[in-house]
């Protein structure tokens, strides 16, 4: 396929460690697409369910810059995302997550690694 941007995004999302979260804008920046948070949302909506390059894409570790799950509360996907996060010990109160405690803070080495492709 030719949608290079989606692939860069999926790949970056795969770097988020288990038990941590990242926001859409943060992923966009790390993927080399500054200012394109919305594209990240679109890309996540299209992750291959079977995974990509042999690994699953942990879409549920991506939330918005306000620390909230971006699906309408009550929707099927909202529940699914919340469940996945709680399963890996991320505390979700209502729809909110404390970024201060759970946001992924990639170190320099990780950033450089992600830029090599």
Partner DNA sequence: ACCTTGACGGTTC
Partner DNA sequence: GGAACCGCCAAGG
Query: Which span sits near DNA by CB under 7 A: 35-43, 85-93, 99-107, 109-117?
Result: 35-43
The token duo for 111 is 């950033």
Residue whose structure tokens are 């529940």: 79
Select the residue interacting with DNA from 15, 62, 85, 97 (CB under 7 A): 62
Residue 23 to residues 26, 54, 102: CA-CA distances in angstroms?
A: 5, 24, 11
45 binds DNA (CB under 7 A): yes
10 binds DNA (CB under 7 A): no
Residue whose structure tokens are 């404390």: 98
The token duo for 107 is 């170190």
Residue closer to DNA, measured from CB, 41 or 110: 41
Residue closer to DNA, measured from CB, 39 or 92: 39
Residue 66 to residues 12, 62, 63, 77, 115: CA-CA distances in angstroms?
A: 20, 11, 8, 18, 26
Minimum Å gap between C-beta 10 and DNA is: 11
Q: CA 54: distance to chain centroid?
A: 18
81 binds DNA (CB under 7 A): yes
90 binds DNA (CB under 7 A): no
Positions in the binding site for DNA (CB under 7 A): 3-6, 23-26, 35-42, 44-47, 59-60, 62, 64-66, 70-71, 77, 81
């Amino acid at each position: 396929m030719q949608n290079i941007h989606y692939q860069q995004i999926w790949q970056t999302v795969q770097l988020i460690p288990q038990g941590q979260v990242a926001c859409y804008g943060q992923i966009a920046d790390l993927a080399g697409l500054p200012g394109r948070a919305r594209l990240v949302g679109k890309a996540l909506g299209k992750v291959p369910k079977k995974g990509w390059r042999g690994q699953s894409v942990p879409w549920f570790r991506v939330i918005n810059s306000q620390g909230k799950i971006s699906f309408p509360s009550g929707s099927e996907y909202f529940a699914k995302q919340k469940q996945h996060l709680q399963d890996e010990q991320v505390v979700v109160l209502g729809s909110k997550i404390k970024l201060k405690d759970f946001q992924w803070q990639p170190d320099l080495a990780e950033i450089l690694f992600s830029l090599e492709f």
